[in-house]
Each structure stands twice: as structure tokens, then as C-alpha cells.
Amino acid sequence: MFAKEQSSAKGKFPGPVPIVWRKDFSSIQEIAFAKSIGCYSVTLIADKLVAKAPEMLPNLIHACHALGMEPLIEVNDQALIAPALQAGAKCINVRFSSGAVASFLVYATKSMSSDITKIAGDFAVLATVQARQGAAEIEQAQALIGLEGYNGVLFSGALLDARDKENIPYCGYLADVLLNKRSTTIKINEAKPGPGGPNSGGKAQGWGNEGTHV
């Protein structure tokens, strides 16, 4: 549905954004299907693929490249980065699939920074931050972006349903406060009524505007 929705933006400004499908891909057929419906790329979960068979990760990375896709390789251990790079991966995503609180997951991600900097190669590494925490995600993202070894941040759970009308304002909020060079200090007013505030019925909190961040 995301790919279909974005295809409607072709020829317009702004144009469609790349869609990367995240799931437990385990076959070339699944990757080919993702390509056929308009996905820009897919995620490959390194620990699961390596556990199934050592050759699965490189085989699927090569399949992605053959289809003109650059896969996002998810790792939860520094030891998984080297095999992915040897197979030709260019984009690594440090992501811990755990029910632990978001702040602990960020701490675990920070702890991998020094190990990543020791790895030579032409590749990019994205840290993962849980989205829609009510503004805590902004502070966590800023802390990770400032670390050596990380080139950017991926917000998990920011977009879950293409029909959700909250998607556009929430993603706009993230882009504004993280990319706006004027913003060096972020202040969130959670008491402010309206979308994202305490009266939003549990929807994405932590939004702001010129009055809630500087």
C-alpha cells in the first residue's frame, strides 16, 4: 500500500520517496516480489539469515544487487558487520529486536560505536531509534547522530499504515527539528492541545512548531 500510494506522486513535486520494505526476507522470490510492487529496496536481518545458513545472507545481498536494489542489512552485533560487508553490503542498520525500553536500546546502540569505527570499508551505518515516544526520540537521535561510526538514524515505527493521516505531520515534525540548522535546542510542550498532545487519544506525541522548539 505504501508503494502504491507513493507511485501516485510520480511527476509531481515533491516526488515519491523510496520505499524500503522491512520483514524477515529469506528468499530471492520474496525480494523479487518486493521489487515488482515498486519497493526501492528491502531489509535483510543478518542474525536470522546467518543462523539458517551461512550462504543465505550473501546470496540475498547479491540478488538485491542484481535487481538494482541496495539492501539495508540489520545487525545486532558487531561481529555480523564484517560478513555483510564481505558479501557486498553498503548500508548497515544497527537494530536490536527487543522488548526492552527504548532508552536501553539506545544505550546498546551507543556501545557499538567504537567497534564500528574500527572497521575499514566504504559503507554507511544507521542507528535505530523508536519513533513516537513523545519527544524522547529527538534527544536519542541527536545523541546517536553525534557519535562516530553512525551516518544517520532510522526511526522504527514512524510509519505503520499508509492510511494513517498522522504520518505526514509527524514525519514533517521529525525532519524539521532534526534538519533545521536554526534548532540547536529543542523544547517540547506536551501540554499543548492538538495533534500529538495529551488529548490526541494516544496518537503520535512530541510534535512541535515554531512555538515549541527553537
Three-class HEC string of 141-203: HHHHHCCCCCCEEEEECCCCCCCCCCHHHHHHHHHHHHHCCCCCCCCCCCCCCCCCCCCCCCC
- Smallest CA-to-CA distance from 115 within 90, 82, 145 is with 82
pLDDT, tens only, 116-131: 999 988 999 999 999 9
How do 91-94 and 124-130 pair as beta strands? Answer: parallel
Global confidence as pTM: 0.75
Residues of the chain with confidence (pLDDT) below 50: 1-3, 6, 9, 11-15, 183-214
Judge whether 42 and 68 are in contact, CB under 8 Å: no
Give the per-residue pLDDT at 36. Answer: 95
Give the per-residue pLDDT at 191. Answer: 41
Give the per-residue pLDDT at 18. Answer: 83
Give the per-residue pLDDT at 41. Answer: 92
Give the per-residue pLDDT at 180. Answer: 76
